A and B are shown apart, each in its own frame.
Chain A
């Protein structure tokens, strides 16, 4: 029924176009413009009625489907799922909420209130199913393989929530972050890559940050902008690499020779000159991923209401000040917390624990015993 109404709606729109074309043609033949306008008005009226009918049908269909779905709440997370899949939905919801709360504290509830998720587990072997139809009016529909682990399925919820979080941020905060906050369940992997970035960055302020100078951390994250970012944030090699990276943007208005002297002949003065053209182009040395981890640290440190404080803070204030408000603490405390969180993700270079070594020795002894007992009868 709904699809027939949809088709009718498309058909009417097509008809309107045809009529307009026909009207144009008739105008050319000296027909009465007023009658054409009447006809258009009639058709538009018909279209509106049909749309209304289709909408009311969708609402009815939604209500009907709602009647066959069970609802559940996990914290502020609202979920709908078929009755037989409610346990699966609960596990997914709990995993999602645990992950969200772990990174964003209770402030994420603000974002979650905007959404309701319809979780439709499907049989991966059955390609003919069209279970998602008609649920869109009820919320964000997630058609997921029914045999996928709940913790993995939770990512389907976390991604749009992070998207919502990103959309709620104001432009200045988004600019500082330089990209959406990417969610992942494997927080260890993200944090490890953050650690790696901090450790391996060639920027002098990033090195200083790694070695424990908090003011360098704030600079490296772009919370404090120095007078000459190109010189303060980057080393000679870093500037050359940055010019190479920004090549296409920086080449406008300068001679090709200057660019070549910087990148190919390694003339630092030319690199500096190029970067001085537009200092807004010079990014903080630590990437958006590390800045996002800083924001998440602030949200977590600020506990309940931290997101509200962030969103409520004036866009006129500096990012640093707004993050202080979010975390409810001083910038130095926040930076120190973030710094230790990143360093805590230092990967063990050689994973040789006593239990592993012990197990190896025991296995060796066992295997050697087997070998010495090998039969002499051949």
Chain B
């Protein structure tokens, strides 16, 4: 049963998985470009830091797209097929989740291998250390979290997704109106704090993502 589900999810998500894996492989390699060639690596480090934003973005987008691809076909058929199969709903959801999580290993592996190669074939100034495994681990957790969050929303009814989107849209609309009225009232800030500051769900996306300890 799991193999059947895994196969469908692979088929639906293979293109984006391939792209995410390639991107994951390329980002660490690109981020250290110039370490070998440029004197005074300050600007290279700046560019390395600039690449740091690519890791959480890739984790979030890979999680989002993979979760969407896991459910698109079921949504299209209004879940009739899945619900007419002799398997409990929770088990079906769990199987889909596990399959997606397994597939997510590909971009994670891409990041890890890219990071290892980047550090192996780059002249890293003495005293600096690469953190390929830590970077890959953090990417893994972030991508898994993004995948889980979007998976949970996607697995719900259209009403659930509508409520989530509705709340987000209402918050933004209130903020826009308040700003237009010249008010200092900031509604989004506390919401973002709740989401991105510990123990918020997306805290793992924030902070530094560096392959080297610079």
Chain A interfacial positions (CB closer than 8 Å to B): 125, 147, 196-197, 199-203, 207, 210-211, 235, 237-238, 240-241, 346-352, 355-357, 359-364, 367-368, 370-378
Given contacts A367-B149, A372-B93, 18 further A-B contacts (CB under 8 A): A196-B42, A196-B214, A197-B42, A199-B127, A211-B127, A238-B39, A348-B208, A348-B213, A351-B208, A352-B204, A355-B198, A360-B145, A363-B148, A363-B201, A373-B90, A375-B89, A376-B79, A378-B157
Q: What are the interface flags for B118-138 relative to A under an 8 Å C-beta threshold, 1 for contact and 0 otherwise?
A: 000000011110010011011
Decide: A374 and B160 in contact? CB cutoff 8 A: yes
Q: Residues 93-106 of chain B: 1 if any A CB is under 8 Å from the residue's CB, otherwise 0?
A: 11001000000000
Most A C-beta atoms less than 10 A away, residue of B83, B148, B151, B201: B148
- Name the 6 nearest CB pairs between A and B, nearest first: A237-B39, A351-B207, A349-B210, A200-B41, A372-B90, A371-B152
Measured between beta carbons, the chain A residues less than 8 angstroms from B145 are 360, 363-364
Say yes or no: is B44 at the interface (Cβ < 8 Å to chain A). yes
Are B127 and A349 in contact, CB atoms less than 8 angstroms apart? no
Which of A347, A363, A376 is B89 in contact with, Cβ under 8 Å?
A376
Q: Assuming A364-B145, A378-B83, is B213 touching A347 (CB within 8 A)?
A: yes
**Which B residues are CB-close (under 8 A) to A357?**
141, 204
The residue on A at minimum CB distance from B201 is A363
Q: Which residues in chain B, 175-212, are within 8 Å of chain A measured between CB atoms?
A: 182, 184, 198-201, 203-204, 206-212
Q: Which B positions have Cβ atoms within 8 angstroms of A? A: 39-42, 44-45, 78-79, 83, 89-90, 93-94, 97, 125-128, 131, 134-135, 137-138, 141-142, 144-145, 148-149, 151-152, 155-157, 160, 182, 184, 198-201, 203-204, 206-214
Check B148–A364 contact: CB distance below 8 A.
Answer: yes
Q: How long is the Cα–Cα vector from A357 to B90 in the complex, in angstroms? A: 26
B155/A200 in contact, CB under 8 A:
no
Task: Specify which of B83, B127, B134 lies most central, judged by the most chain A CB atoms within 10 Å of its CB.
Answer: B127
A201 to B127, CA, bound (A): 12
- Docked Cα-Cα span, A175 to B182, in Å, equals 48
Chain A facing B: main interface SS = helix
Write out the residue numbers on chain A whose beta carbons fall within 8 Å of the beta carbon of B89.
372, 374-376
- Specify the chain B residue showing the minimal Cβ separation from A361: B141
Chain A residue numbers with a CB within 8 Å of B94 are: 368, 372
Q: How far is the CA of A350 from the CA of B134 in the complex (A)?
A: 7
Q: A360 near B141 (CB under 8 angstroms)?
A: yes
B206 to A, closest residue via Cβ:
A351
> Cβ of A376: which chain B residues have Cβ within 8 Å of it?
79, 83, 89
Whose C-beta in chain A lies nearest to the C-beta of B82?
A376
The answer to whether A202 touches B83 (Cβ under 8 A) is no
A300 to B45 alpha-carbon distance, docked (Å): 30
CA distance A352 to B207 in the complex (A): 9
Q: Which residues of A are found within 8 Å of B44, using beta-carbon distances?
A: 200
The residues of B that contact A125 with a CB separation of less than 8 Å are 182
Asked if B155 contacts A371 (CB within 8 A), the reply is yes
Whether A241 lies near B213 (C-beta < 8 A) is no
Residues on B with beta carbons closer than 8 Å to the beta carbon of A347? 208, 210, 213-214
Q: How far is the CA of A240 from the CA of B134 in the complex (A)?
A: 37
A201 surroundings in chain B (CB, below 8 A): 40-42
If A196-B42, A200-B42, A359-B203 touch, whether A374 touches B157 (CB-CB below 8 Å) is yes
